[in-house]
Amino acid sequence: MVIKKKSWEVHFSRIIGIFLLITGLLILFNAPRIKDYNIKDSSNIHINNIWDFFVAFFDELVRILHHYIGNFPVIAAIIVLLFGVFVLLVGRTLRRTTHYDYDISVFYIGLTIILMIVIMMTMFQVYSFASFLFIIPFAIHVGYVVYKNELNPMHRKKHYLWIIISYGLCYFISQFAMNHNIDAQNVKPIDVMSVNLFFILLWCLSQMSVWISLYLRRSLPVSDEDIEQFHEERYSRVKNNRLTRKIYTLAEGFYQKLQNFKQATLEKFNSEEAIAKRKRRNEKWKEIIKIEEDDIPRWMRRPKWLKKSYIEWISTVVLFLFTFIEFNNRNGLFLSGEWKLSQIQYVFEWLTLFIMMLLIILYAYFNYTTNYKNKNNFGKLFVISALFFEIATTFFVSAIQTSQFSVFITPISFLLLLFVTPAFIIHLKKSF
């Protein structure tokens, strides 16, 4: 069992506990508003400064809390506060001793499930039933984290693509549901911003929670040799604190069953029959989508002088140019003086364009490092995938629905899609 000097499991526990304490205090201080929330008051909010914007931003969370805990906000606040204190005590215990590592690992698995349920409940207010689709990428992501050591590192690109595509498709579908709810006046633009921020925070906390659980489980001794070595070398974080044999006997039995299940699954997956079946399926798909050079008209073929790296750089310049122009146009809103909450979609667009600009700049950096230094290929994969799904979603949503969050008009988004798609495909086909 290796104890890291940085003790990230302790730090993550503290972060989760502090977040719960802050959430509990916010619920407690806003209990009257949560209990007697009036949606008509939020429509009259004027935003003159950053504080007014924060008030409007928090108003959506109050609305969600009113929906779920409107009848007992004080009780809910006390429960969240006590739970936050408990998580901080768990972090303190992790720092002092390994005596309860197994029990704490089980606790953090339960906490991960609770956080994901809260994420689903929060997103349901904006994305309706489409929010439940995110169970799929959550499961794939957590499964990858759990079985990462057992997966073939030579196929890491495929593993990441499973995660990227699952998140991307769920994002694509959820945007249609969101725009439908906005058109039906079930939600407001500020609702979307608040829920998305809360989603990001809870998602990060859930990843911390599952990491703590996996770290503690992998660091536990699960055999007689490990237990004997533990007693000889004193792995306890407190000198005179030792794990009892009973706890390790239970842990050994649990891990033996877990290892048997994992081994059976891996043997079935890596059996000759399964490998042959996957190979036949892959060959079948390759034959279906295989395109020979003669199948492409001469006028559609890429000139030999036009290198793939040139296409990527051209795509980068075009994406940055149009994004910067739209971003500069949105800046006028913040210099125009007083504006109402009904105009909050412009802020959403400004934030989206700002994030896109950062991604494009990062993509330009990865272009340089991958083409000239042959590194950061996975970073480039994540960035170009995010740009592709964002632009594709923007185009299809604006073309099919009346969207209040389209950062580009339909012709511009179609033009950007024409440039980002080749860059996306080029990097997908690259071997790394």
Residue linked to tokens 């690992």: 105
Helix axes 101-127 and 50-69, enclosed angle (nearest 10) = 100
Where does the chain hold its CATH 1.20.140 domain(s)? 305-429
Judge whether 189 and 345 are in contact, CB under 8 Å.
yes
Higher per-residue pLDDT: 190 or 81? 81
- Mean local confidence (pLDDT), 3-21: 80
Q: 395-416 pLDDT, tens per residue?
A: 988 888 766 567 788 889 999 9
When pLDDT is cut at 50, 70 and 90, the band that residue 424 belongs to is very high
What is the residue type of 5?
K
Greater model confidence, 4 or 218: 218
More confident residue, 73 or 406: 73
Average confidence (pLDDT) over 17-40? 82
The C-alpha atoms of residue 162 and residue 150 are separated, in whole angstroms, by 16
**pLDDT exceeds cutoff 60 at 248:** no
CA distance 108 to 15: 14
Contact between 3 and 235 (Cβ < 8 Å): yes
For residue 111, the number of C-alpha atoms closer than 13 Å in the C-beta half-sphere is 30
Confidence of residue 38 (pLDDT cuts 50, 70, 90): low
Strands (E), 193-247: none
Token pair 């997908």 is found at 428
Q: For 49-59, how does the pLDDT look when each residue is reduced to its tens digit (9 = 90+)? A: 566 666 666 77
Sign of CA dihedral 51, 52, 55, 56: negative
What is 305-429's CATH number, 3.40.50, 3.30.1360, 1.10.3470, 1.20.140? Answer: 1.20.140
23-27, 300-304, 327-331 — most confident range: 23-27
- Tokens representing 284 are 């079948």
For all residues of the chain together, what is the average pLDDT? Answer: 78
Q: Are the beta carbons of 298 and 328 closer than 8 angstroms?
A: no
Of all helices (H) and strands (E), which one includes residue 236? Answer: none
> pLDDT tens digits, residue range 250-270?
555 655 666 677 677 767 777
